[in-house]
Amino acid sequence: MGGGSIVSSSNGIHEDFPFSSDDNLSLEDEDNGLDFQQVGVESGNTSCADLVVSERKKRIGINQEMLQSFNELKIDTETLKKGKKKILSYRPGTWIWKSRGLKVCDYDVPETTCLILVGPSRSGKSSLINRISKVFDDDKFAPARAQVSYNSLIGGGTYFLHEYMIPRNTNSICLYDTPSLTDNSHENNKMLKNWMTKGVRHGELVFRSTENQRLSEGLKCKDDKKGFVSSKSRKVNSVIYVLNGLSILNAMKNAGGALEARYIKTVVSNFNCPFLSFKDDKPVLVFTHGDLLSLSDRARVRAYLGELLGVPPTTQIFDIPDCDGPVTESSIIGMLRHTLEHADRNFPQKPNVMNKVFKISAFLFMILLILRIEFAIGLAQNKSMHQYHASQPQACSSEVHEMHPNLKVSKKKPKIERPKMEVHEKEPKIEWHKIRHIW
């Protein structure tokens, strides 16, 4: 294709994602929540049976589409290069929607598009940042940028906000690694509201009231170091919600457990937080650790998350495992393209543009209103004058008839005789040559 080479992913997808015995995707009745035979035979409700059939076909279609993406054995490297080039050449406002005749300069476009990663503990936010950075830096020997917790049992994790430019030494895109969300919905909403309304700053400590005394003192000691906190606050332009695919699968298999139910409830509550959405746009969803699951389990997790959170699983949920390969690279490029395009679409308009549009509209409205009033006044005056002139002759004739009933009044206008001008006689002409002897 266009001279581009084809990279076989037989060494990538089959070795990185080993198949298990249950890789043939099957939709069980307990997953659907309805038994087709019981609904169709016992109740005799054909409409409900048709609903079950349509839902089953819908799920089969979605799962087959997702499995087809996994089974792509050949990926065009030329397509990956083009997609990566579009991300590398991105500037804030590149994919802005120019509606109502407005231009890019009419929008409040930031210098850097800020994307934040949020999610529960051990979801893989820091690992995802390292994976994204590795794709666009093209430096296999570059060290990992984000600190990853190796053993979560001894504590650790992200407690400070960290900013990472993608790629390095640029200022078009930045990713923010954030502390994990907890089971406390009130505290999560307060923290998310602060980030989305006041912005995020590199190196800022996020302190929770539930932290123990020893950890609080250690965090305060780390926060006292000078030169770590950035004075520049960035406004968040889009959100990437990160989940652990293995944790979701365990919650699906143990749906009746209290801990699993609480985990799913927390995920739904955090994802549906109104501060994470931009108008009708919900956050992009990424689930990690897919390299620890079979392909069929990854497809099931993706479909389950789509139904649970109300987002399309094939276009807004991205499966990004923690491994190298063209499939992972393609998922990362697609996820960033989707996120950046929606971020550009939700850039606000400049206040002066709104005032300018309002002033122009108000001025035109006032002009039209004045013209309409003047036209109405002129029309009323012409109508009243016409009525007055039309009523004058009738009034005069009626008055004369009342005073002299036997007098016939002619409707002809009286002839006005102009006064004759007096003609003066001409003065006699004096002949001066005849009377010159008088002198």
- pLDDT at site 371: 84
- pLDDT at site 16: 41
- pLDDT at site 368: 84
List residues bridging with 166 in a β-sheet.
173
- pLDDT at site 5: 45
DSSP 331-368: HHHHHHHHHHHHHHHTPPBPHHHHHHHHHHHHHHHHHH
- pLDDT at site 21: 37
Averaged over successive runs of 10 residues, the pLDDT of the chain (439 residues) comes to 44 40 41 42 51 64 64 70 94 82 83 96 93 87 85 71 92 94 90 94 81 61 61 91 95 89 93 93 95 91 95 94 89 95 90 61 79 81 70 54 55 56 56 62
Q: pLDDT tens for residues 314-343?
A: 999 999 998 888 889 999 999 999 999 999
Q: pLDDT tens for residues 352-369?
A: 755 555 566 677 778 888
Two tokens, residue 120: 């529960």
CATH number of 74-349, picked from 3.40.50.300, 3.90.380.10, 3.40.1710.10, 1.20.1250.20: 3.40.50.300
pTM (2 decimals)?
A: 0.67
- Report the distance separating Cα 317 and Cα 287, nearest Å: 8
Which contiguous run of DSSP H or E holds residue 74?
Answer: strand 74-76
Q: Where does 350-438 show beta strands of DSSP type E?
A: none
- pLDDT at site 101: 67
- Report the distance separating Cα 242 and Cα 131, nearest Å: 13
Say if CB 249 and CB 301 are below 8 A apart.
yes
Say if CB 360 and CB 41 are below 8 A apart.
no
Each domain of the chain, given as residue ranges in start order, spans 74-349, 362-391
